[in-house]
Amino acid sequence: MKITALLVLKCMPEGADPIILANACDVSHFGFFQRSSVREFIVFVSRTVAKRTPPGQRQSVQHEEYKVHSYNRNGLCVIGFMDDHYPFRSAFSLLNQVIDEYQKNFGESWRTAQADSTEPWPYLDNALTKYQDPAEADKLLKIQRELDETKIILHQTIDSVLARGEKLDSLVEKSSDLSAASQMFYSQAKKTNQCCSIL
């Protein structure tokens, strides 16, 4: 799962090209000579998708092994380029966080923007790195993953207890320290408790 780019754009009325307010992309997984073309393609597709995303709408566009997710909140649009395996819910959760953070930092100043911004926005660069793991963007996914890990640990623990129980049986049989009565008590207790054992 990989996020290639995150962009924030101002959608223009009457079909004009959207203005890029913030842009962060990681094209390190492309060949060195392809990187500038990939950046240009990201900008082109971002403007195209943002222009076609109506206010208040979310949409996803599939292109080969990538998905372009967009969310337009009253003319402020955020775009995310992710691979096909990045979960939808995590993607839109991330886009929502980015747009909230942008409005918190810049307020309504984006409405007066007239040209693409070349100023870096550190939050967007950090988000691009931090949210490579979808569980960071989607808290429910993170909780589910933690529960799955706990379940695996629990199964490993039960398996080790059962293995330990088998060893305990052989130790009881071999022990010369236990009297015949103690060995008999252990076997009877084990038989009595068999209805409650976990297999």
77: CATH: 3.30.450.50
- Does 132 score more than 90 pLDDT? no
In this structure, is residue 81 part of a structural domain?
Answer: yes
Of 12-26, 114-128, 172-186, which range is least confident? Answer: 172-186
- The C-alpha atoms of residue 116 and residue 66 are separated, in whole angstroms, by 25
Domain that holds residue 159: 3-163
Count of structural domains, the chain: 1
Confidence of residue 78 (pLDDT cuts 50, 70, 90): very high
DSSP states of the chain: --EEEEEEEEPPGGGPPPEEEEEEE--TTS-GGGHHHHHHHHHHHHHHHHHTS-TT-EEEEEETTEEEEEEEETTEEEEEEEETTS-HHHHHHHHHHHHHHHHHHHTTGGGG--S---S--HHHHHHHHHTTSHHHH-HHHHHHHHHHHHHHHHHHHHHHHHHHHHHHHHHHHH-SSS-HHHHHHHHHHHHHGGGG---
- Does 79 score more than 90 pLDDT? yes
In this structure, is residue 136 part of a structural domain?
Answer: yes
In this structure, is residue 96 part of a structural domain?
Answer: yes
Q: 83-96 burial by CB neighbour count: b if 16+ within 10 A, else e?
A: eeebeeebbbbbbe
- Give pTM, 2 decimals: 0.67
Confidence of residue 104 (pLDDT cuts 50, 70, 90): very high
In this structure, is residue 122 part of a structural domain?
Answer: yes
- CA distances to 87, 90, 134, 138, 157 from 1, in Å: 9, 11, 8, 14, 31
The predicted-structure confidence for 16-37, as pLDDT tens digits, reads as follows: 889 899 898 888 888 888 888 8
- Does 164 score more than 90 pLDDT? no
In this structure, is residue 177 part of a structural domain?
Answer: no
